[in-house]
Amino acid sequence: MTFVESLAEKAALDLSRSKSVVALTGAGISVESGIPPFRGKGGVWEKIDPAYAHIDTFHNDPEKVWEVLLKGLKDLVDRARPNPAHEGLARLETLGVLQTVITQNVDGLHQMAGSTDVIEFHGSFAWHKCMDCGSRCPNSELDLNRLPPRCRCGGIFRPELVFFGEMIPSHHLMRSEQIASECDIMLVVGTSAIVQPAALMPVIAKNAGATVIEINKEPTPLTGTISSYSIMGKAGEVISDIVAELELIMKPQ
């Protein structure tokens, strides 16, 4: 048995004894679905200046932000399908083990995999909103032949995601804080855990006495500090291992 396998077994055992489990996910969970992370090698911010993700830049030059950042993001989101990590978290819900996913991702892949209680902390790319009349347009119907995409009223569409410089919707923030403070296990999957206030959720969970289990390809600021233990590896493989171990534990003898 490898070290990772034994940690997957430990996580499965901890999950089998838990009452309330929440997962906090980040871009790393969607890497195996073909969506690059933001930071690190091959990350979005290596090629594109993160200033393009700031709301002031969008207001000043929406055409440029659609051209440089959002058009490419739409292409990626349109093509992506859930991977074994998203499916594994949905399976944990079916098994009655995981209640809620708090995701920083805007790709909708948790819902596509079958998770039913997903807090989209940074909003979603599924819908776009006219900045003039407030009409909403589903992503599948957005016309990008001319940029920026426009509403019938002539107003410009923006994705319903949280740009840098914008507040997290207060209902998402409050519910996430509440759930983090009440869970007994938080799975932290594929996030660099440096963007606030999302990165505060594991700290809230830890301070309230929860076990924080981190799943990531590399160490983060949580590793060895907030995380009770870390399982280093690809999210798809690690979560599949955990689910397999858990199914063995839960199988009627």
Catalytic residue set? 122
Nearer residue to ligand OAD within complex by CB, 15 or 29: 29
Region binding ligand OAD by CB under 6 A among candidate stretches 35-43, 60-68, 150-158, 243-251 = 35-43
Nearer residue to ligand OAD within complex by CB, 151 or 192: 192
Helix 3-16 and helix 235-250: axis angle, to 10°? 50
Q: CA 179 to CA 196: how far, in whole Å? A: 17
Q: CA 75 to CA 72: how far, in whole Å? A: 5
- DSSP-assigned beta bridge partners for residue 119: 102
Interaction of residue 54 with ligand OAD, rule CB under 6 A: no
Q: Are 157 and 176 in contact (CB under 8 A)?
A: no
Whole-number Cα distances in Å, 89 to 45, 117, 135: 27, 11, 33
Nearer residue to ligand OAD within complex by CB, 206 or 234: 234
Q: String of b and e for 205-220 (b: at least 16 CB within 10 Å)?
A: bbeeebbbbbbbeeeb
Interaction of residue 104 with ligand OAD, rule CB under 6 A: yes
Of the candidates 181, 217, 223, 244, which one interacts with ligand OAD according to CB under 6 A?
217
Interaction of residue 38 with ligand OAD, rule CB under 6 A: yes
Helix, strand, coil content of the chain in percent (nearest 5): 45, 20, 40
Of the candidates 7, 15, 27, 126, which one interacts with ligand OAD according to CB under 6 A?
27
When CB distances to ligand OAD are compared, the closest residue is 28
Nearer residue to ligand OAD within complex by CB, 151 or 214: 214
Q: CA 25 to CA 42: how far, in whole Å? A: 19
Contact residues for 230 (Cβ-Cβ < 8 A; gap 6+) = 213, 214, 215, 216, 219, 222, 223, 224
Interaction of residue 239 with ligand OAD, rule CB under 6 A: no
Binding positions for ligand OAD, 154-213, rule CB under 6 A: 162, 164, 190-192, 195
CB of 253 to ligand OAD, least distance (A): 33
Interaction of residue 82 with ligand OAD, rule CB under 6 A: no
Whole-number Cα distances in Å, 29 to 102, 122, 177: 12, 15, 21
Region binding ligand OAD by CB under 6 A among candidate stretches 20-28, 55-63, 140-148, 172-180 = 20-28
Taking phi first (over 0 means left), then psi (-120 to 50 degrees means alpha), and beta for anything else, what does residue 123 get? left
Nearer residue to ligand OAD within complex by CB, 176 or 192: 192
Interaction of residue 53 with ligand OAD, rule CB under 6 A: yes
Write out the residues near ligand OAD by the rule CB under 6 A: 26-28, 31-32, 37-40, 43, 53, 104, 122, 162, 164, 190-192, 195, 216-218, 220, 234-235
